[in-house]
Chains A and B, each alone.
Chain A
């Protein structure tokens, strides 16, 4: 079936709109004196894009010469990316109000979002890589946005690690292309199954390593805590909740080839990697005094939880379970990603509020846990939102994080990986310790200062995330269905 221009527009409506908006904002930036309006433009654009991508027809098949496909998987991730950007823009409205370069922040953010959306829709290695780079380069600049010393260090680290991982990935892709003569993911998968050899293995290892960096799986996680800690906090929210999830969607698309091709003697190696990732993330998080860094390590642990899906799929391929088990496993991970995206964005924005407050009071180390003392009375809304996000991250019902963890536990049990499920449960209990410690400081310590006026944009952003966390936690049905059909896309 050939699709006309009208179809392209309706399928890629959100991307087209945002691209157009970016152009417009660049132009406006040249002429406008008061740039505060740019933030609202970005907000409106993202709001409309959210509706466009929810409404996109998921049955049309590939477009752009078979490189882009709009399906449940891509739309599921676009939903996450756009929502996270939306929340970050809300916070940015306060953070960069009246700042002379604020339009650049929104432009970079939108460009990164477009890049991620392209990755989510790609079914071709090249478009996937281009989307990846668009998102990565934009976020490198965002990490250094405040141009403070620690920003620059964070951005530099992120840039170096990021470019090395991109190079590895591209190298892997080029070997795959040389071997199979195609860049379409499906064709690469089919051919590499037929002629599995040492070269394929090397190529896949490069690809896995490249994605491993983006997903921050141990041993590729070293950059994440430093970058997360050094970046402006609302950018950290975007990196942890958006950019990292892009790594996951790309990995879902590509690593499954690896898992199928490697014939799964390797899935045990992956299982061990996952086990180490979550344990290391949690153990190191316990020792952190900076809440931001603690959340960064908890992100590493989460990468491990989410990657359980790979192990489940591996186990299914290996052990002759039916495909339904694999589908549930992937859907469970998608739900965990969804829950983590909202909870982490929200949590980092709460950290931003505290940091903002601490800086105004002239304190050093704005993210230190000491500044959370008595937050429940100093900034009641922020503290309450943070409380919910932390409970969600630790998997206490009725929150989005609970639903995700619940499903992942279930899928691990279902595929016979009882040891992994038990380890996950123990890790989850361990993580409770450092989440509870923050809650303790917020509600059980005497306040360290007077009540503060909570910045409106931040509050709005947190409330949006809070509503999402509760809504997904209490009415998960629609999301589970969506995740399940997204998982089906990967397995057909």
Chain B
């Protein structure tokens, strides 16, 4: 394996972005090459990854700003690697899906690549300073994607997205500082090293319970807004509805996963040392997001808005799984991140394709599209089935793992989830599908055709991946399981910690 795999993976899209920015004609080729190479690197990393241990692999570490204890440290374990794989896959497919972009292609493809840089950096960074930089860098491409290529209310949506998530990041940053200033290494130095600081939170001589609880709250807030969990989800529908298809896909498939990643990387290692009420809080917020998100989705008239709220609902499973603290549930939550990343791409691509072929996304104005767009209908149907949890597809595996794993510790929560959301989830998917695709075709849609081959191609690849991971989840869940074990180990039974 080449040395510095992770740095290369982050640097190549950045360089490609500069090339893409300079020439609009070749931008898409630069973007394709600049995203295929990281994909190749991440696949190779996935093959070479040692699946039996939980230590960080492919680690690179260099001094950066020694004056304040900042290092450039990157590395992956079972938490980060699947998301890196997801990011590289999704970026390639989004570039492919957007192959026909005519409006300012140079900026468009450069921003897609820049987004990949930020996301990969977040998933690989092991230094809080570096982590925060990438965390903020991600906002910039998304702000422009929404603001330039967005719908009618793009100005409002872009600014709201940027400021809302920026405030959350700042609160997270203050918590990071509190961690940083509480701890000195044995040599008496300050450090931003993530793993060192997180390990230090277990030392009650350094952190008073009160301080640690406050710090924890700041971090949790930052991640909940990003995920987004109810009641911090209000930026999401605005951003999604106004964003162009590629922006929505990246937002739902990758940016939301940053919040979930933070949950596993930073929140869970701190959980044993903070008030057990937080575990209850996470589980409650998770269940509320699942159920409330599903009902919100049910009530939407706009197909894309419905898909956006379904994301809130599905990301709730990640919170519930993390809060339930059994190996199966945590592993399931990690897999839900990966699986939702793939499924939501298909959904948003479907909504985007319908928008630009039929000219509207309002569900009640559509009808019978399957008649003229058979290939597209198959793919969209597959995506919707995956999203509602059809067995044999990845969403089913993930959600069943979360629910089964959680039942052991949080039976009531699981019951509420099952009875409150499963039927509704199936309902809004099927109802929308039925109205949009099936039934007699409306006259105004008689001359529609299947969309461009590149759109069909990227959606087909996604559907194949969803089915593959639905049938063979162990390809990737094994490393998630290895990563989940140490997170859960400190909790023998939840009853002991006083979780309701």
Contact = CB atoms under 8 A, between A and B. Distances in A.
Interface in A398-440: 398, 402, 406-407, 409-410, 413-414, 418, 421-422, 425-426, 428-429, 432-433, 436-437, 440
Contacts of B65: 476-477, 480
A418 B158 CA distance: 30
A397 B66 contact: no
Given A397-B137, A444-B154, A477 B67 contact: yes
B181 interface: yes
Contacts, number: 79
B172 to A, nearest CB: 10
A421 B133 CA distance: 19
A440 B155 contact: yes
Given A391-B140, A396-B140, A476-B65, A443 B166 contact: no
A228 B171 CA distance: 33
Nearest to A473: B133
Contact of A396 (B136, B158, B159): B136
A415 to B, nearest CB: 9
Given A410-B180, A477-B67, A480-B65, A436 B162 contact: yes
A422 B172 CA distance: 11
Residue among B132, B163, B177 with the most chain A CB within 10 A?
A: B177
A481 interface: yes
B423 interface: no
Q: Give chain B's interface residue range (CB within 8 Å of chain A).
A: 20 to 34
A102 B50 CA distance: 69
Contacts of A476: 65
A469 to B, nearest CB: 15
Contact of B171 (A414, A425, A484): A425
Interface stretch (B143-151, B255-263, B330-338, B407-415): B143-151
B167 A426 contact: yes
B177 A413 contact: yes
A410 B181 contact: yes
A433 B159 contact: yes
A436 B174 contact: no
Contact of A414 (B136, B167, B181): B181
B12 interface: no
A426 B167 CA distance: 7
Interface string A82-111: 000000000000000000000000000000
Nearest to A325: B181
A410 B68 CA distance: 10
A422 B174 contact: yes
Given A436-B143, A484-B67, A444 B136 contact: no
Contacts of B136: 396-397, 402
Contacts of A429: 163, 166-167, 170
A444 B174 contact: no
B173 interface: yes
Interface string A474-492: 0011001100100000000
A333 to B, nearest CB: 15
Contacts of B147: 440, 443-444
Nearest to B168: A429
A395 B324 CA distance: 37
Interface in B311-343: none
Residue among B140, B148, B159, B170 with the most chain A CB within 10 A?
A: B170
B159 A409 contact: no
B285 interface: no
A396 B139 contact: yes
A432 B166 contact: yes
B133 A398 contact: yes
Contacts of B162: 432, 436
Nearest to A422: B174
Contacts of B167: 425-426, 429
B181 A413 contact: yes
Interface in A175-209: none
Contacts of B170: 425-426, 428-429
B155 A477 contact: no
Given A397-B136, A413-B181, A429-B166, A444 B171 contact: no
Given A425-B174, A426-B167, A443-B144, 14 more contacts: A391-B140, A396-B137, A397-B133, A398-B133, A402-B133, A409-B174, A413-B178, A429-B166, A429-B167, A432-B166, A436-B143, A440-B155, A444-B147, A444-B155
CB-based closest 6 A-B pairs: A425-B170, A397-B133, A413-B177, A480-B67, A444-B147, A429-B167
12 contacts: A391-B140, A397-B136, A402-B133, A406-B129, A407-B68, A410-B68, A413-B174, A414-B177, A422-B174, A436-B143, A436-B159, A480-B67
Interface of A: 391, 396-398, 402, 406-407, 409-410, 413-414, 418, 421-422, 425-426, 428-429, 432-433, 436-437, 440, 443-444, 476-477, 480-481, 484
